[in-house]
Amino acid sequence: MNPRYEYRALLACDIAGSAGRGEQRLQEIRRVLRSALSDALCVADLDARDFAYVDTGDGCRLVAPAALPKARLLFPLLPELGSRIREHNRQAGADTRLRVRAAVHAGEIRLDPDGTVSGAPFEALARLLDSAPLRDATLAGTDGTPLAAILSHHFHEETVGHGYEGLDADAFTAADIRVKEYAARAWLWYPGSPVGPQAGSGRDAGSVEQPAQSGPRTADQLIQATGNGTVFAVHRGDQYVRHNDRG
């Protein structure tokens, strides 16, 4: 049998700071990630058995089935995954808490008869996952971020750019990516940004909301702004930062 080429959506996850925890802890956090992802897929009405799953040691890579609309890899999957990781972190000790980077891309990949998948889209996916803006995003806030995701420009255009229900364009921040020979525009999703029709609507008591600087903001500026708070809304060009009131 000859290999075939198909257009597929791709999702990769990587556990930030996984090195140095020891074998037992590494296996535990890998299990937690896989369980959280499986539960999020189920809530998103997606069957994990339809995805090709590749364990990457400190993360995973999913190849979506050919017929799956790309937007299904964003909403409600990403918010659900972030929610499950956050819930785990509330109960976990410092050595088993997770901060996860996720990258989403799509393109024509090669599928060999033995089930092996390869192709240029995986290279782009790896570069996105390893990019500095995404790595910085996982450090946002006082305790880090349970989940930060990055979309390739191509994926963003064909999902968020099409205005599908549940995908708020204001929830994504443009970032210029440069990793080795790879350079491209991409889009970051921050925790607490209004992905989905209900997210980002609540306000914590005791928080102070302040408009950030006027004018366009870069991804680096937004990351810096989250040092003592969380970017929770980006609306009509104005960014707002929720600062924790520590008394």
pLDDT digits (tens, 9 = 90+) for 102-114: 999 999 999 999 9
Q: Compute φ and ψ for 34, nearest 5 degrees.
A: -65, -40
- Counting residues of the chain whose pLDDT is more than 70, the rounded percentage is 75
- How long is the chain? 247
* CA–CA dist 39, 32 (Å, integer): 11
Q: How far from the centroid of its chain's Cα atoms is residue 147's Cα?
A: 6
Region 12-17 average pLDDT? 93
pLDDT digits (tens, 9 = 90+) for 66-117: 999 999 999 999 999 999 999 999 999 988 999 999 999 999 999 999 989 9
Which of the four pLDDT bands, split at 50, 70 and 90, describes residue 20? confident
pTM above 0.95, yes or no: no
| For residues 180-198, average pLDDT | 70
Separation CA 27–CA 96 (nearest Å): 10
**Structure confidence at residue 118 (pLDDT):** 95
Residues 170, 155 contacting (CB under 8 angstroms): no
Helix (H/G/I), strand (E/B), else coil: 100: strand
Q: In the prediction, which pLDDT does 192 show?
A: 60
Instruction: Please tell me the number of Cα atoms within 13 Å of 112 on its side-chain side.
Output: 6
At residue 163, the pLDDT reads: 80
Query: Which among 151, 148, 192 is positioned nearest to 174, based on CA atoms?
Result: 151
109-117, Cβ contacts within 8 angstroms, sequence gap of 24 or more = 109/5, 109/6, 109/7, 109/8, 109/10, 109/63, 110/3, 110/4, 110/5, 111/3, 111/4, 111/5, 111/6, 112/3, 113/1, 113/2, 113/3, 115/52, 117/52, 117/54, 117/63
Class of domain 4-196: alpha beta
The domain spans of the chain are 4-196
- Identity of residue 221: Q
Is residue 218 pLDDT above 50, yes or no?
no
Q: What is the pLDDT of residue 171?
A: 85
For residue 223, what pLDDT is reported? 41
Helices 77-91 & 23-43, crossing angle to 10 degrees?
Answer: 140
Distance CA 190, CA 230 (A): 8
Read off the tokens for 57. Answer: 């040691």
Measured distance CA(83)–CA(192) in Å, rounded: 11
More confidently predicted of 238 and 66: 66
Distinct helix (H) and strand (E) counts, the chain: 6, 11
**Region 53-76: what's the mean pLDDT?**
93
Asked whether 174 and 157 are in contact (CB, 8 A), the reply is no
